[in-house]
Structures are given as structure tokens and as C-alpha cells.
Amino acid sequence: MKKVSSEKILDFCTYGFAILLMLLIIYPLWFVVIASFSDPADVANGNVWLFPNEWRLEGYAKLFEQPLFWRGYLNTILYTVVGTIIALVVNIPAGYVLSRKDLLGRRWLSVLFIIPMFVSGGLIPTYLTVKNVGLLDTFWVMVLPFAVSSYNIIVARTFFNNSIPNGLWEAAQIDGCGTIRYFLTMVLPLSKAILAVIGLWTAVGIWNSWFNALIYLTNEDLQPLQLILRRLLISNQMLQSQASGELASELRATADMMKYAAIVISTAPIMLLYPFLQKYFNQGVMIGAIKE
């Protein structure tokens, strides 16, 4: 009986801690959502806790009225979709090749992929390289130069080493299956977990990226959502500094509402996508990280 009671106490403490931790993570996200629909004065005075005292849509309306907002949203979607596909096409085969034990110079090639994880060429050489190959201020500058990820390749290699049995390749050879056909018809269908993991990592990185656009894009029609939102918020702050009195208060309130609305709009697609990939995400991370 004592053992049963102690187990119940332990379970109660474990579940209580897990619920508390979940609330600590969820509430800040929920607060941003309700703040985007609330009066900025109520938010500043601490009068908003679980639900808005008064539902307001001015922040979203002001944001949607911006002429570059929808263009930036479309650009971000295109960059994310195309960039994720290119990253998968490049990194997954590279990881599989490095996992093949019959690859000549396999260890040395792995070292060559690991070195860029610790040492990079720097911003100026990268900028000059992008400029010399003609990618500057084009759509492809957001998806091609940074498609190769040494970290993703190493994770994919570890996954293939631990999850794809060597006997499968031997059986495929007996049936007359070549390397490319084996990879496309047998390895990829068994690799949904790592495809989901690397795809999600890449998509989140591209969706949140704004620094590359700031450096390599000057054409407003090509700029992504994150950079457009950054410019809008900076513009509002400049207007506030130039105004005074009641006008300054009104501009500050509008900027606060737009800020919360921008956070919700920019993070909602990724947050809605994650639950559908969570199963593969957890499985892929664990399989790719247990052993080499």
C-alpha cells in the first residue's frame, strides 16, 4: 500500500509539474493573441489576462491596408515552399551518400561537411560571391545560396545509418535494383521521419529569415513578409518620435496593435503546420540522435 501511495504521489507531482510547464509555455503565446485583439491601453495597464476586455480589429485592419503586406506574404510562402523542396533535394541524397559504407573517402568527405559548421567565409566574401554569380536582387538568392546545410546532412546521414538495414540493399541488388532506383523506391518511403524533420527545420528557418533579404534584396517586390513587417514597425516608431501630444498616443496605440497582429500573422502558418508533422518530428530527432 505504501508503494502504491508513493507512486500516486509521484504521478501527481509529475503531472502537476508537466501541466505547470505547459501553462508557462502556452500562456505567453495566448497573451500575444489576445493582446492583438485588445485595446493597447488595457494591455499596458495589465487589465488583459485571459480574454480581451473589448475586441478590436484595428491592428489587423491597419496591417492589411499596407500595400506591400500581401506581396510580402506571397513572397514568403514561395520562398518557404521552393526553398524547402530544394533543401530536401540537396541534403537528403547527400546524407544518404555519406551513410554508404562503400563510399570511397567517406570519412574525409564527412570532415569536409563538418568544417563549415564551425568556420564560415564571412558576410563580405559571401556577398561578393552571390553578386558575382548573378543572384543578387533575384528570387533565387533566397533559396539557392544557403540550401546546403552541413548540420542537416549529418543528421540525415545518422538517420540512414541507424534506420536503414544493410540487408535491404543486398536484397535489392539480388533483384537487380540499382543505386538510384533503390534510393527512390525503397529508402525514401522509409524515411518520412527525417524528411519531415529537415523539411520543418528548413521551412521555419526560411519563414523567419529577414537578414538575408536585408542584405541581398533591394527590390520591394521581392522582399519577404518578415522584412516588410520590420519596416512597417520601424516606420511607425519614427512617426511616433516626430509627433507629440494626442497624435503621438494614437500612433503608439496603432503601432502596438500592429506589432501584436504582425506576430500572430507571421507565426500562425508554422504553428498550424507543426501538429501534423509532430509525430515524424519527434521520431526523426530521436532516431537521428541516439547513436552513430
**Per-residue pLDDT reduced to its tens digit, 62-103:** 778 777 788 888 899 999 999 999 999 999 998 888 888 878
Spatial distance between the Cα atoms of 147 and 198, rounded to a whole number of angstroms: 12
The residue among 11 and 159 whose pLDDT is bigger is 159
Of the candidates 82, 80, 94, 79, the one whose C-alpha atom is nearest the C-alpha of residue 194 is: 94
Name the least confident of 46-50, 104-108, 190-194, 221-225. 46-50
Q: Give the three cell numbers for residue 206.
A: 526560411
Burial category of 2 from C-beta neighbours within 10 Å (exposed 0-12, middle 13-18, buried 19 and up): exposed
The mean pLDDT of 105-121, rounded to a whole number, is: 81
**Per-residue pLDDT tens over the stretch 6-28:** 777 877 888 888 888 888 888 88
Spatial distance between the Cα atoms of 155 and 151, rounded to a whole number of angstroms: 6
What is the rounded (10 degree) CA torsion for 28, 213, 198, 271?
A: 30
The residue among 148 and 167 whose pLDDT is bigger is 148
Cβ proximity of 54 and 39 under 8 Å:
yes
Spatial distance between the Cα atoms of 113 and 110, rounded to a whole number of angstroms: 5
Block residue for cell numbers 500572430: 264
**Per-residue pLDDT tens over the stretch 214-231:** 889 888 888 888 887 777
Q: What percent of the chain has pLDDT over 70?
A: 85
* pLDDT (0 to 100) of residue 80: 92
**DSSP H stretches of helix in the chain:** 2-36, 40-44, 58-65, 69-99, 106-114, 123-132, 150-163, 166-174, 179-182, 192-208, 211-216, 225-242, 245-290
Name the least confident of 105-109, 138-142, 251-255, 268-272. 251-255
Q: Is the pTM of this model over 0.95?
A: no
Q: Give the three cell numbers for residue 49.
A: 489576462
Please work out, in degrees rounded to the nearest 5, the angle formed at the alpha carbon of residue 26 by the alpha carbons of 21 and 29. 145
Which residue type, as a one-letter code, is found at position 14? T
Q: Give the three cell numbers for residue 208.
A: 523567419
Task: Kindly report the CATH number that applies to the domain delimited by 57-290.
Answer: 1.10.3720.10
Cβ proximity of 53 and 39 under 8 Å:
yes
The mean pLDDT of 129-146, rounded to a whole number, is: 89
Domain ranges (residues) in the chain: 1-56, 57-290
Q: What percent of the chain has pLDDT over 90?
A: 7
* pLDDT (0 to 100) of residue 247: 60
* pLDDT (0 to 100) of residue 59: 75
